[in-house]
A and B are shown apart, each in its own frame.
Chain A
Amino acid sequence: MKRARPPHRSRPALVGLALSAAACAPEPDIILYCALDEVHAAPIVRTFEERSGLSVRAEYDIEAHKTVGLVRRIREERNRPRCDVFWNNEIAHTVSLADDGLLAAYDSPSAADIPEEFRDPQRRWTGFAARARVLIVNTDLADPAQIGGMWDLVDPRWRGQCGMARPLTGTTLTHATALFSVLGEERALEYLTGVKQGDVHLTSGNATLMRLVSAGEFAWGWTDTDDFNVALDRGAPVAAVFPDAGPDGVGTLLIPNTVCVLAQAPHPDAARRLVDFVLSAEVEETLARSRSAQIPLHASLTDLEHPLPLERMKVMQVDYARVGAEIDERHGQLKEMFLD
């Protein structure tokens, strides 16, 4: 005798199938790994999609875990790259990826008027839309004119009044690494030891430091221009000091965004089109006018009105290739110094 089947027995399987289907996404024309904040990058990606007719799947990094997320994923995927374009919001780890042979050369026509110092000689990456490392000063607590540069941070007269992010991640790590190449081993160590041993407030990141200076918890400290501009935008009593502009000073470190095509990218032609768009003067202008106030590097944009223009600063002469090559070693060294 045939046993009667309970009704709706196949329902769980159908639900499972429907959920599985919902969990799969269609294949895009380009996969972009983007470390720039989504709020700034997403509108640019949308514009590109509208104009090109190409679909882009943009995958962003976790802000608090920058440099672990996307860079590590690119390394882990090296045997079967799925990323076409990597848009990094800094430069050192891009250089490191290039050194490891993970990037393809592409000389974008859009980058023709970007200064050579921000472009890889082999064209594996191109820098654009920079942030600068500046000193954010609470004008209620300190006179910006009294602060000349980086060494004031370890000057006893500012004891307990200033701060910086721990130089273990992001732009602060890049900055510390650059100091070794610009100042030399001994002077850089002297500076960082002074920071560690002096009464300098250390924070987890630049945004935290910016918030504390804005709120008057500290008088001043290191931050990036995008964070400074957020404070300015919020109406905080702050001013920016472009450090060490004197003849003997090392100047202000610029940290450009970088964009590159991955070696063995699944969609190389479409990837190059996206890179051309991202490197266009139009995108740089958009980023310059955004809340992050990125500093344009295109020669054609030198006249652009900007709250933190290049001509106000003495730009630090730094070998980005060397910074990229050294950053991992320096990270280990700084970890020993700044983490007990």
Chain B
Amino acid sequence: MSRPLVIAAAAVFALACLAPVVVMAARVGPDDVEGLLSPRTLDLLGRTVWLGLGASAVAVVLGAPYGFLVARTDVPCAALLRPLGLVPFMLPPLFLAITWTAVSEVRGAPATVWILGANTFPLVALFTARAFERIDARREEAALLVGGLGATLRMELPLILPGAACGACLAFVFAVNDFAVPDYVSSVGPKFNVYADEIFASWQGDQEAGRAVATALPLVLLTLAMLLPALALRRRGALATIDGDFRSPAPLALGRLRWPALAFCLIVVALCAGLPLARLTWEAGGGARGWSAAGFRDAMSRTLDLERTFLANSLVYSALAATLCTPLALILGHALERSRRGRALEFLALLPLAVPAILFGIGNIALWNRDAALMAAVYNGGAMIVVLFVGRFLVFPLLISSGAVAALDPRGEEAAELAGAGPAARLARIVAPGVRPSLIGGWTLVFVLAMRELDAAILVPAANGTVIFKAFNRIHFARDDAVAALCLLIVFFIVLPGLLWALFGRRRLEVIG
């Protein structure tokens, strides 16, 4: 490890990821936490936990079989279905909400659970798929010989459970921290109030800032309570060590079940991504007034002309954040994995994710809006939003990178050291090429999350120029053809990097590690 490089990267990590959290935590006084757990708060927390469990259950029911089928079986078109299964996670959850409420009368808690579960099922599918791929062929062959497909699945189930549970924990975290979907699906009738909404509401008006920060503490603890097991399960499941003589298993023959399995995968993709995109396409082309290809083309080109600048801003901010995260993730991920205290430091990496988005956004204002010329320049310009995205999302490429380093044989680095290569050279020439798919996977994930991020950025000045900001304002007023066209354009640009990689990349994108 290159000490200066690690120190520099750790300093950036501390500034972008931890400092906003520390600034906000410093506002909380002893009085602020008094009476925090009132009966109403506990009730809200209970409801939020049920929402998280419900969404996770939906994610597992859809994601675990999906991951198994596309990763380990001879289901037709598995190579195509695998990347397609990631698309629902790339859609901003509110886009799913506006389309599902348009095609269904279901509202409130059931709608929220379904939408957030459908949005996050790719997480479970990903981790499950990876866990299935790490089962040694010899174990599987033995089980097949003894008891066929049934015995194989019984043998494999305990091995993939940690991976699936890790994905479910992440689905839980995303679900309990979302307030836009519960709000949108109860726009008429009794409000399905959840804790994330309570936190957002606590920042209205002139409430004491310390109290508003303290209000978030129960959700932070709940989120951490799920993220920490997710970390441990990730190591036991998706990142389970592969022996030196590991043999990749051959695809399991489904026999007569091939076509029903394909139907299942297609239905899942259709419900979670196809239907929302089809609905948006229908609305963009005229919707109830009468759909036409010309109308669709017109709406798309008009919207592109009108929103070009905002799209460009979002692309620049997101690409820049993802690009800055990549070397940081490589350096810190390598340091985490190879150092003795790395595992403990993973906890710190989770903090920006555990803190509610609005709190992280306000923390950045408090940190950067200062008289010092450089800080003022950062705060006033687009750099602020890039810094915010780096701080909020660095955890993902960092963990992906550390996972990839874990799977890398350290003897290559030791040999290079013996040959006289310095730490930086070893990192650049031995480690980086070895984990390249993971680095690109991390880049893509940060890009996707940054493109769809609104909550943390809502208060930051430059967010005004992002396309997601414009989309949310337009959605509020009316869902006409221009709004649908804008949503489709955003989705296209979010999916684009992954799509390009899927089409032209020679290796599969790694977003687990």
Contacts and interface: CB of A to CB of B under 8 A. Distances in A.
User: Are A and B associated in one complex?
Assistant: yes
Interface of A: 12, 15-16, 19-20, 22-25, 27, 37-38, 59-60, 62-65, 67-69, 71-73, 75-77, 79-80, 82, 93, 96, 100, 166, 168-169, 201-205, 207-208, 212, 327-328, 331, 335-336, 338-340
Interface in B319-334: 319-320, 323-324
Contacts of B362: 72, 76
A328 B464 contact: no
A68 B199 CA distance: 11
Contacts of A38: 473
B476 A64 contact: yes
B200 interface: yes
24 contacts: A19-B319, A23-B317, A23-B462, A24-B382, A25-B380, A62-B458, A63-B473, A63-B476, A67-B204, A67-B205, A68-B458, A69-B459, A72-B204, A79-B370, A80-B369, A80-B376, A204-B188, A208-B188, A328-B205, A331-B201, A331-B204, A339-B193, A340-B43, A340-B193
B136 interface: no
A335 B201 contact: yes
Nearest to A211: B478
Contacts of A62: 454, 458, 469, 472-473, 476
B477 interface: yes
Contacts of B377: 24
B366 interface: yes
A77 B356 CA distance: 20
Interface in B130-180: 180
Given A24-B381, A68-B203, 5 more contacts: A16-B324, A24-B377, A63-B477, A73-B365, A340-B43
A338 B191 contact: yes
Contacts of A339: 191, 193
Nearest to A24: B381
A62 B190 CA distance: 23
Nearest to A173: B204
Contact of A65 (B193, B385, B458): B458
Given A20-B383, A73-B459, A203 B205 contact: no
Contacts of B472: 62-64
Contacts of B191: 166, 202, 204, 338-340
B203 A168 contact: no
Contact of B187 (A22, A37, A208, A336): A208
B187 A68 contact: no
B458 A69 contact: yes
B384 to A, nearest CB: 9
Given A16-B320, A19-B323, A327-B205, A82 B371 contact: no
Contacts of B386: 23
A331 B190 contact: no
A62 B358 CA distance: 13
B480 to A, nearest CB: 11
Q: Which of B190, B358, B458 has the most CB of A within 10 A?
A: B458
Interface in B419-469: 454, 458-459, 461-462, 464, 469
Contacts of A63: 472-473, 476-477
Nearest to A202: B189
Nearest to B472: A62
Contacts of A69: 458-459
A27 B473 contact: no
A64 B323 CA distance: 31
A170 to B, nearest CB: 11
Given A19-B319, A20-B320, A82 B40 contact: no
A59 B205 contact: no
Contacts of B371: 80
Given A38-B473, A212-B188, A68 B204 contact: yes
Contact of A204 (B186, B203, B316, B380): B186
Given A24-B382, A62-B469, A67-B204, A76 B458 contact: no
A59 B461 contact: yes
Nearest to A12: B323
Interface in B380-412: 380-383, 385-386
Contact of B382 (A25, A96, A203): A25
Given A19-B316, A64-B476, A331-B205, A82 B469 contact: no
B207 interface: yes
Nearest to B381: A24
B323 A16 contact: yes
A79 B473 CA distance: 29
Contacts of B459: 69, 72-73, 76
Nearest to B201: A335
B287 to A, nearest CB: 15
